[in-house]
Amino acid sequence: MKAIPDVIRIEPASACNLRCVYCPTGTGQFKKTGIMTWRIFDLIMRDLESNVPRVAVMYHGGEPLLCKNLWDWVIRLKNLGVKHVKTVTNGTLLDEGVIRKIVASGLDEIEISIDGHSPEESNALRRGSDCQKIMNSIERLLVLKDESLSVFVSNVQLENPDSPSEPKTAQFIMDTFGDAVVYKCSYVINWAGFDKAGFISPQKIQDGYCPHLNETMTIRWNGDVVPCCYDITSKGVLGNVCKDSLVDIWNGQSYERVRRGIREGNPLSFCKGCF
């Protein structure tokens, strides 16, 4: 076991400016949301200086671009020596100034969400969104960026839980961007409640080994460390960077107890969806 893993997920913000119909943020299931402070980020960086990860994903449950410090933090991570820094956004805040900050920051990958089979359906699913404006912003980003920045467009589609099907290409996205972006498509089952949903197909556990628990550390906006990227409501807090170092949390009893439960076929209730 390494001192800390090669992949670190950091949540700049758990708050969001949209109300997507399938998301716990959009449906009001988060008890508390917030923006990561410089103090929390500095505590994280203190521990990363002697254990530089290979990948940093600046995203978890909210809209990262609500964090005004995000691009300063990307620069710090790149200066530290992190090879690949990524973020995910709903695209609503991609104005000219933000786009130029993205390009200047050295960000390696940005994933922008446009859902549904059409702009109209996208706006209906992502309440508060303007699909055409977001697509215009992506086109501007493609003009200003250099080859070091990869642009992904992710497309989530809602399906009937009684007859789920494979997601179909959102042709309007392909027609607009062609091969200038990397296109990702998945679906979420439209159950009445998010907790009952199959949210973007959780990864099945093989041979008692969970890659999230052994290869990735996820740090929420308030410093809480949670088991994986699926725990966006902090059901399984394993420590907090305000109290312990990342090294101590990663190698501590709470993490090992959860890993052991997976190995022995006795997972946390939260983890059972991956079995």
Question: What is the C-alpha to C-alpha distance for residues 50 and 83, in angstroms, rounded to an integer?
Answer: 15
- Which pLDDT tens digit goes with each residue over 235-270? 899 999 999 999 999 999 999 999 999 999 888 887
Mean pLDDT in the chain? 88
Question: What is the C-alpha to C-alpha distance for residues 149 and 116, in angstroms, rounded to an integer?
Answer: 25
Mean pLDDT score, 44-71: 96
Q: What is the DSSP letter of 209?
A: B
pTM of the model: 0.89
What are the residues whose beta carbons fall under 8 Å from the beta carbon of 79, sequence distance 6 or more? none
Question: What is the C-alpha to C-alpha distance for residues 25 and 20, in angstroms, rounded to an integer?
Answer: 8
CATH fold group of domain 20-37+65-201: TIM Barrel (3.20.20)
In this prediction, residue 233 carries a pLDDT of: 82
Question: What is the C-alpha to C-alpha distance for residues 12 and 73, in angstroms, rounded to an integer?
Answer: 9
- Which pLDDT tens digit goes with each residue over 82-106? 999 999 999 999 999 999 999 999 9
User: What residue has token string 């091969």?
Assistant: 179
Question: What is the C-alpha to C-alpha distance for residues 229 and 244, in angstroms, rounded to an integer?
Answer: 21
pLDDT band at 195 (very low <50, low <70, confident <90, very high): very low
pLDDT band at 152 (very low <50, low <70, confident <90, very high): very high
Domain ranges of the chain: 20-37+65-201
